[in-house]
């Protein structure tokens, strides 16, 4: 089996990307190989594209996300745009591209200058027992659930991935320490939790930093975390918000039935 892969980045989130579109599923040997190369390259996550299907002029694929901690992520917003770049480039005769997930089929878009987008499901604010072991620790405020930990107030949001959103400006050091402490609370967060610090700069302009559960550190950008932060900021209003992350600019639009996550994505180099 061809073991070649690509390195890629989106808003300075870094990836290894495997094309296994001819396979419906992957085995443990491939996962071990992918994880070994992820660690060798020291990238944030590995992306594996599988189950490619052509229906007329439409192309469908599934994306598997594997973290440095050897666990599987629910999704990756920046990674999905990397997949969009790869698929639009490889299948230039196709007109529409979709990622298939457990939460539905998500359309991808290509813009100019290596800018890509994906329509994500609307952010959910319902406590999911898969990610939260003690719902009783959360309080309700309007449509949002929040929890007070380490002297701070965190809102819960699920953009396929689970997130806690802190509407404060905090230092990288403080966010890292919060991420470490909260991810050790397996009694509350059995599968870990992403932590977002959201600083409201001005109307429809946010700065968002993220501690990601899959790599257990701060990353340069997080698409689902930025989407969660915007959804809480907008409180259900339909609008477009610009989000500055350490790795670059994202543009997030809350629509009637989806959230469009738009930003840069680049395929870097092929490795044997």
In this structure, is residue 127 part of a structural domain? no
Q: Where are the beta strands (DSSP E) in 203-239?
A: 205-212, 217-219
Number of domains in the chain: 2
How far apart CA 70 and CA 83 sit, in angstroms, is 20
In this structure, is residue 94 part of a structural domain? yes
Q: Average pLDDT for residues 24-44, to the nearest whole number?
A: 96
- Per-residue pLDDT tens over the stretch 186-239: 999 999 999 999 999 999 999 999 999 989 999 999 999 999 999 999 998 999
Tell me the C-alpha to C-alpha distance, in Å, between residue 93 and each of 89, 192, 196, 210: 10, 41, 39, 37
Contact 10, 16 (CB under 8 A): no
Mean pLDDT, the chain, integer: 96
Give Cβ neighbours of residue 31 (< 8 Å, ≥ 6 apart): 66
Same domain, 76 and 182: no
Same domain, 93 and 67: yes
Per the structure, the complete domain to which residue 244 belongs is given by 135-256
pLDDT band at 3 (very low <50, low <70, confident <90, very high): confident
Same domain, 11 and 115: yes
Same domain, 68 and 177: no
248-254 vs 259-264, strand pairing mode: antiparallel
Give the predicted TM-score (pTM) of the model. Answer: 0.94
Same domain, 140 and 116: no
Same domain, 72 and 175: no
Same domain, 88 and 168: no
Same domain, 67 and 159: no
Contact 175, 194 (CB under 8 A): no
- Per-residue pLDDT tens over the stretch 59-117: 999 999 999 999 999 999 999 999 999 999 999 999 999 999 878 899 999 999 999 99
* Two tokens, residue 231: 């959804």
Same domain, 216 and 245: yes
Q: What 8-state DSSP symbol labels residue 124?
A: B
In this structure, is residue 129 part of a structural domain? no
Q: Which of 16, 22, 20, 99 is nearest to 60 (CA)?
A: 99
Same domain, 160 and 246: yes
Same domain, 250 and 140: yes
User: Which residue in the block uniquely carries the two structure tokens 């959103």?
Assistant: 165
Same domain, 142 and 252: yes
Whichever domain contains 148, its CATH number is 3.10.310.10
């Amino acid at each position: 089996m061809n073991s070649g892969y690509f390195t890629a980045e989106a808003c300075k989130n870094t990836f290894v990307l495997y094309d296994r579109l001819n396979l419906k599923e992957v085995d443990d040997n491939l996962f071990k190989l992918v994880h070994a190369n992820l660690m060798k390259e020291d990238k944030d996550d590995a992306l594996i594209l599988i189950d490619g299907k052509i229906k007329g002029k439409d192309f469908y694929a599934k994306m598997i996300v594997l973290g440095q901690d050897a666990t599987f992520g629910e999704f990756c917003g920046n990674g999905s745009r990397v997949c969009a770049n790869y698929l639009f480039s490889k299948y230039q005769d196709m007109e529409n591209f979709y990622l298939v997930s457990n939460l539905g089929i998500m359309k991808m878009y290509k813009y100019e200058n290596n800018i890509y987008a994906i329509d994500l499901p609307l952010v959910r604010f319902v406590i999911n027992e898969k990610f939260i072991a003690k719902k009783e620790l959360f309080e309700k405020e309007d449509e949002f659930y929040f929890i007070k930990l380490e002297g701070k107030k965190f809102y819960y949001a699920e953009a396929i991935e689970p997130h806690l959103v802190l509407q404060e400006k905090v230092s990288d050091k403080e966010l890292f320490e919060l991420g470490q402490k909260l991810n050790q609370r397996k009694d509350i967060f059995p599968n870990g939790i992403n932590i977002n610090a959201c600083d409201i700069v001005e109307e429809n302009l946010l700065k968002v930093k993220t501690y990601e559960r899959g790599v257990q550190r701060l990353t340069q950008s997080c698409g689902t975390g930025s989407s969660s932060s915007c959804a809480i900021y907008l409180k259900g209003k339909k609008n477009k918000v610009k989000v500055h992350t350490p790795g670059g600019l994202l543009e997030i639009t809350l629509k009637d039935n989806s959230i469009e996550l738009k930003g840069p994505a680049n395929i870097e180099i092929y490795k044997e």
